[in-house]
Chains A and B, each alone.
Chain A
Amino acid sequence: MKMRQVYLDNNATTPVDPRVFEAMRPYYVEDFGNAASIHTYGQKAHCAVEDARGQVADLIRARPNEILFTSGGTESDNTALRGVAARHQSRGNHIITTSIEHSAILRTCEQLEKEGFCITYIPVDRKGMVRLDKLKEAIDDQTILISVMHGNNEIGAIQSIEHIAAMARERKILFHTDAVQTVGKIGVNVEELSVDLLSLSAHKMHGPKGVGALYIRRGVSMNPLLFGGSHERSRRAGTLDVPGIVGLGKACELSNEALEAFNTRVRALRDKLEKGILEQIPDTVVNGSRTERLPHLTNISFRSVEGEALLISLDFQGVAVSTGSACSSGTVEPSHVLTALGGNQKLRDSAIRFSLSRMNTKNDVDYVLQILPGIVERMREVSPLYRAG
């Protein structure tokens, strides 16, 4: 009998929705034109791209001409940081971000430091919430940009973006948020959040990999990351990935329709999973805030059980989860997010992230709750660190 497969690593990537795939299909073989061409092939592609731009804008309540298509979240983050830094360096050389950002932000900041910019990394509290007092203190006359992620990829902590954006606006500082993990899962409204720049990615919401977008508020000036042709109104050179962009647009449309269901049905599944684990397995603890967080994930430490060993044991029984940040798997670096929360190092190494999507079912959760207690029990029998009680 085929082993049951349960995919609970949706913060790493999500399966493409078949409706998204069907929407993309014609733009590979039949309507394959270059969106920059003026013949019919090109114009069909151009129209598809503009329809997708509208779908993305609708999801985040932006105007279509504020949407810049990119190759994904990493490029969106790089474009935002490097584009603003290059354009506004005559005003100042200070950028503020946080210690729990995705590596697309952190590594870009490290590079900007090498190029002469000063970066302040704001710490978080034990729940993963950015220390607003520290952020306020860090702002100075040289500050040109603040970048704070919306929802954290590892623990799901949702930051008070509108509050931070207001602080930035008051000091005439541009504000960027990496919303890769929130767009399509919770309501994201760029007007209410009052952000200048926002990164999003298709493959986190059942769209294709390799495509994303950067929201750039009208009037915000910045340099391009890529130079070449005049695509995207000279803000991003390179032939547009028409099928990918169509896929992103369709994924945004479908996520928009499913937002309410995501917040109720997927949240209920997450809650059932989390409650079941905490009740059935002793010495387990949820990492990060349990209130200000995304509805579809839980990050749990299993005391005295090594996270990767637990992950692989679950994998052998058909269940895919993650330890730390999925993009960092295979490295021996500890999770910088859990490290930033402070606390016990061994507990940090025992963390597992379960991230659900709208494609998960109650049977998926029941299966995990059926097999996980036994696996953890075996892992603890073999652990020299475990003492029950």
Chain B
Amino acid sequence: MYSEKARQLITELPNRGTLANATHTSSVENPVCGDITHFYLRVENGVICDCRFQTFGCPGALAASAAVTVLCKGRTLNEVQQLTRKAILEYLGGLPSHKLHGVDLAIEALRQAIGKS
């Protein structure tokens, strides 16, 4: 079962779409299940002012990607570098055990985005 928070994120898909003036982007694919995540960040003075995502993937991947964008907005690059799998899962109120790979995909997409400008 999905938590109330995960249900809300999957239903509303906050921060979905692209960002025309993104300063940092990433594109990550899970070669096993075929899930794809793109992140678009606008960073000003080391702070993530805006963050959007696009994901083709299972509900777990959608929930995790959306959660990461919510958690990143307004934080510094240094802060989000510390964002852990545990913190994302706590925010989500957990995910079904067979959906945890969605969190790994979101973290990888975030790390790839902030690793290059």
Contacts and interface: CB of A to CB of B under 8 A. Distances in A.
Interface of A: 304, 306, 308-309, 312-313, 316, 330, 332, 345-346, 349, 378-379, 381-385
A383 B54 contact: yes
A316 B7 contact: yes
Interface string B9-23: 011010011000000
Interface stretch (B33-41, B72-80, B85-93): B33-41
B2 A312 contact: yes
B62 interface: yes
Interface of B: 2, 7, 10-11, 13, 16-17, 27, 32-38, 53-59, 61-62, 98
Contact of B10 (A313, A346, A349): A313
A316 B11 CA distance: 8
B10 A316 contact: yes
A378 B16 CA distance: 9
Given A313-B10, A384-B54, A308 B36 contact: no
Contact of A385 (B13, B36, B53, B61): B36
- For the complex of A and B, 6 pairs with smallest distance between CB atoms: A384-B54, A382-B16, A312-B59, A384-B38, A308-B58, A383-B56
Nearest to B66: A382
Contact of B53 (A308, A313, A349, A382): A382
B54 A382 contact: yes
A381 B17 CA distance: 6
The CB with the most chain A CB atoms within 10 A, among B7, B55, B59, B98, is that of B59
Nearest to B17: A381
B56 A304 contact: yes
B59 A382 contact: no
14 contacts: A304-B56, A308-B58, A309-B10, A309-B57, A309-B58, A309-B62, A313-B10, A313-B11, A332-B33, A382-B62, A383-B56, A384-B36, A384-B37, A384-B55
Nearest to A332: B33
Given A308-B59, A332-B32, A382 B13 contact: yes
Contacts of A378: 13, 16
A330 B10 CA distance: 18
